Structure 1
Amino acid sequence: MRVIVVGGGIGGLALGAGLRRRGFEASVLECDTDVTATGGYHITLDERAQAALRELVEPAIMRRLLASSSALRLRERDAFWDRRGRLLGHGPDLSESRSVDVDRITLRTLLAEAAGDSLHLGRTVSGAGHDDDGRPQVLFTDRAPVSADLVVGADGTRSVVARHLAGGPTNRPAGIVGFSGRTLLRDLGPAEQQRLRRRSGLAIGPRGTALYIGFLDPIGNAALHAPELRMSVTNGPTYIWGAMFPESAETDSLRALRDHELQTALLGGFRERGWADHTLEVIARADPRSVAGFRFNAASTRAADLAPWPTGRVTALGDAVHATPPTAGMGAGAAIRDAASLLAHLDGTTTITDAVHQFEEGMRHRGAEVLALGMRTVRWILATDTALGAAITTLSIPVLAAATRLRGRR
């Protein structure tokens, strides 16, 4: 069986690696010419995503992944703050968590290695269809079409494959624009090091602003202590943060900026909305080259709306179907689980169409689950951008902060 995977992001590479491992004839077509040319937040892999990866890649790849990952169980409980840096509460106890955080570049590099010679970089797919014999086919901008037994779109929120299947876009802007960057813990002043500590956290202010600060330390908090296997691009305690604003003409203009200019504009945007200067130190002291912007897209949270096409020998997975904002930290993990599910059905079902049907049924429910979690935070942030929401946020936050201080004294 010949399978063409369109897109070499996390889901596409994971599927390509699994197909290659199981002996399928697979081709992963990626428009990028360098697998390290990726940005955004770090990636969280929970137990389910890790179990799926173990079905897709060799044990040696998993060991290198864990040696390059930061274990959530080794960091402090997550924190919730207001825009003035006052502590409002904590997240759940992580001491029993099996989840890990990993740099996106590290994960993509490992998956590309596992995909091996099935990965073809610099291939821009312009469309999908069927050849004269009715076989699935992919079209290119600069070369002849190629046919296969199965075509899988893993080409993200702007998927040409999913658009072909659905007859239009499968997601839309979620209403929030995000900006990410990297800041070394040692570059912060003593006071902010003490406040932020070795944990992740989230602060939400009025007028739809939020700041997520993720803590990543693949050395001090290594999920697997095997320094000889480590290949993480993060080499010490680091905050990988995400600044969020409601989508508007103002934030659209910010997305056109780069590096130090964008960093300065982000600081100005938060200050205009009343954020305390010390809470912005993590942005101010970031590596300017790491600062970039991107739009949050989201599919429907209803399972019935996902993959809304008749089952056939062209399908899609990951963000191409269930585009998920990074606010749940589960989008990449869901794409990996999609890949493992499709591979399992291809291995165990008599016909390709039956395998795809069973895969799509499971994917709809998996996608709806992660979308519901991701959109919960997005709606919370957007609710503060109304007059009522801003007023409630401004009035209630001091009460929550005072209650937290009282609990801490007991």
Structure 2
Amino acid sequence: MRVVVVGGGIGGLALGAGLRRIGHEVTVFDRDSEVAATGGYHITLDERAQSALARLVAPEIMRRLLASGSALRLRDRDMLWDYRGRLLGYGPDLSGSASIDVDRITLRTLLAEAVGADLCLGRTVTGVGTDDTGIPRVVFVDGASVTADLVVGADGTHSIVARHLAAGPTNHPAGLIGFSGRTRLADLDPAERQRLGTRSTMGIGPRGAALYVGFLDPVGNAALDAPELNMSITTGPTYIWGAMFPESADTDALRRLHGSALQSALIARFRDRKWARHTLEVIARAEPAGVAAFRFNAASTRATDLAPWTAGRITALGDAVHATPPTAGMGAGAAIQDAADLVTQLRSLSADTTDLPAAIGRYEAQARQRGAAVLTAAMRTVRLILATDTTPGAVATATLTPLLAAAARLRPNRRRTANTDDV
């Protein structure tokens, strides 16, 4: 079977690797000219995502991934804090977790290696449809085109393929604008290093401001102790942070800024919302070139709304079907599971592909259910943040967080943190 995959992100490359491994003729087209031309931040792969990936790539690729990933079981317990930096509580015990965090560039590089010569970079797709005989056809920006037995859109939130299938957008702005960056643990002052610790944390405050600080250490916390296989672009303990504000004209203006100008504007925005100065050190000490802005988009949380088209010889996966905000850390993992399910369905087909639409229908049913579950989890956090931007929500946040912080101080055997009540 001849398969064309539009989009060489995590999901598209995972699908290409899996199809190549079972002997299908596949080509993955991506507009980027380099595999590393993607955000240098991290993604989380839980046990389900890793199991799916192991069905798509060779064992050696999985070993290199684990050697390059930061194990959640090895970090401190996650923490929730308020806009003054006061401890509100801890997350679940992760000591038994099989999940890992990995640099997006690292994972994309490994998957591109698995796809090999079947990855075509620098090819921008501008249209998709069928020819006069009903064969799927993909058109490129230079006017060239290719046909295939099956076309799969793995082209993300603004998917050309999914828009064609649905005859319109498949997701919408979620109401938040995100800003992300990377900061080395060693660049923070000792007190802030002690407060944040070797864990991922989340800070919330009134008026829709939130700051997620993820911890990544693929060297000290490697999921597999095989340094000779480690190819992570992160070479030491690093915080990968994401600031969030409600979408507005003022917030949209920040998206036009870059580097140190954007850092300064973000800090000013948090300070205007009364955040303690030390809580913003992770933003102030970030690598300026890596600070970026992006809009949160989300598909419907109802499975029946996802992939709203009749199954056929053109389909989609990942964010093209169930665009998911990063607030649950499950989007990339869901795309990998989509790819594994699609490969499983295609493996069962006869040589003449007459059963292809039925196989695609079974795959899409699985993708709908998975997407709805992931979106539901991600949107809980989005709605919580947006709720603090209402007058009642802002008052409740400012009133209740000191009480929660006081209760946290009174809990027996709590983990000690630095005094964080400064301004």
- The two structures have a TM-score, normalised by structure 2, of 0.96
Q: Distance in 2 between matches of 1:373 and 1:116?
A: 35
**Per-residue deviation, residues 68-96 of structure 1 (Å, max 9, x unmatched):** 00000000110000000000000000000
Code of the residue aligned with 1:315 in structure 2: it is: T
Aligned to 1:169: 169
1:41–1:242 Cα contact (<8 Å) kept: no
1:293 equivalent in structure 2: 293
Q: Indicate the SS of the match to 2:132.
A: coil
Q: Does 1:118 align with 2:122?
A: no
Cα distance between partner residues in 1 of 2:341 and 2:40: 26
Which aligned pairs between 1:32-181 and structure 2 lie closer than 5 A? 32-39=32-39, 41-181=41-181
Q: Is the 8 A contact 2:40 2:103 kept in 1?
A: no
The answer to whether the aligner puts 1:375 opposite 2:379 as a matched pair is yes
Tell me the equivalent position of 2:408: 404
Cα shift at 1:63: 0.5
Mapped pair 1:356 → 2:360 = yes
Q: Which amino acid aligns with 1:89?
A: G
Structure-1 separation of matches of 2:367 and 2:240: 29
SS at match of 1:56: coil
Runs of at least 5 residues in structure 1 that lack an aligned partner in the other structure: none
Cα deviation per residue 1:248-277 (whole Å; 9 max; x = unaligned)?
A: 111111111111111111101100011000
CA distance in structure 2 between the aligned counterparts of 1:362 and 1:184, rounded to whole angstroms: 39
SS at match of 1:236: coil
Q: Secondary structure at the match of 2:84?
A: coil
Distance 2:140 2:301 in 1: 32
> 8 Å contact 1:188–1:282 — kept in the other structure?
yes
Aligned match for 1:391, one of 378, 395, 398: 395
Q: Percent identity?
A: 70
1-side partners of 2:33 and 2:23: how far apart?
A: 25
Aligned to 2:341: 341
Q: Is the 8 A contact 1:219 1:236 kept in 2?
A: yes
Alpha-carbon deviation of 1:324?
Answer: 0.2
Counterparts of 2:256 and 2:56, CA distance in 1 = 38
Q: Hey, what does 2:369 align to over in structure 1? A: 365
Do 1:171 and 1:297's aligned partners in 2 also have CA atoms closer than 8 Å?
yes
Partners of 1:6 and 1:30 within 8 A in 2: yes
SS of 1:264's equivalent?
A: helix
Q: Deviations over 1:138-176 (max 9, x none)?
A: 111103221100000000001000000000000011000
Contact kept in structure 2, 1:40 and 1:180, CA below 8 Å: no
Gaps spanning 5+ residues in structure 2: where?
415-423
User: What is the CA–CA distance in structure 2 between the aligned matches of 1:254 and 1:387, rounded to whole Å?
Assistant: 24
Matched residue count? 410
2:420 aligns to what? none
1:182 is aligned with what amino acid? R
Query: Aligned partners of 2:98 and 2:4: how far apart in 1?
Result: 33
Q: SS at 1:295's partner residue?
A: strand
Letter in 1 for 2:172: R
Matches of 2:174 and 2:320 in 1, distance apart?
Answer: 15
Answer whether contact 2:41 2:182 (CA < 8 A) is retained.
no
Q: How does 1:307-346 map to 2 (within 5 A)?
A: 307-346=307-346
Distance 1:18 1:365 in 2: 22
Tell me which residue corresponds to 1:238. Answer: 238
Tell me how far apart the structure 1 counterparts of residues 222 and 136 of structure 2 sit (CA, whole Å).
Answer: 43
Which residue identity does 1:330 align to in structure 2? M
Amino acid of the residue matched to residue 402 of structure 1? Answer: A
User: Once the 2 structures are TM-superposed, how far is the Cα of residue 40 of structure 1 from its aligned partner?
Assistant: 6.0
110-119 vs 139-148, which moves further: 139-148
Deviation at 1:363, TM superposition (A): 0.4
Cα-to-partner distance string for 1:335-381 (whole Å, 9 max, x where unaligned): 00000000000001442111100000000000000000000000000
Which AA in structure 2 matches 1:389?
G
Q: Is the 8 A contact 2:40 2:105 kept in 1?
A: no
Secondary structure of the 1:332 match is helix
Does the 8 A contact of 2:183 with 2:240 survive in 1? yes
Residues 2-13 of structure 1: pairs in structure 2 closer than 5 A: 2-13=2-13
| SS at 2:324 equivalent | coil
How big is each residue's C-alpha offset from its partner over 1:267-310, in whole Å with a ceiling of 9 and x where there is no partner? 01100011000000000111111101001100000000000001
Misfit runs of 4+, over 3 Å: none
**Post-superposition offset of 1:103:** 0.3
CA–CA distance in 2 between the matches of 1:224 and 1:399?
Answer: 41
Q: Which range moves more in the overlay, 157-166 or 133-142?
A: 133-142
* Structure 1 residue 409, shift from structure 2 partner: 5.8
- RMSD, matched Cα: 0.9
Distance of 1:286 and 1:109 partners within structure 2: 24
CA offset at residue 408 of structure 1? 3.9
Moved more, 40-49 or 151-160: 40-49
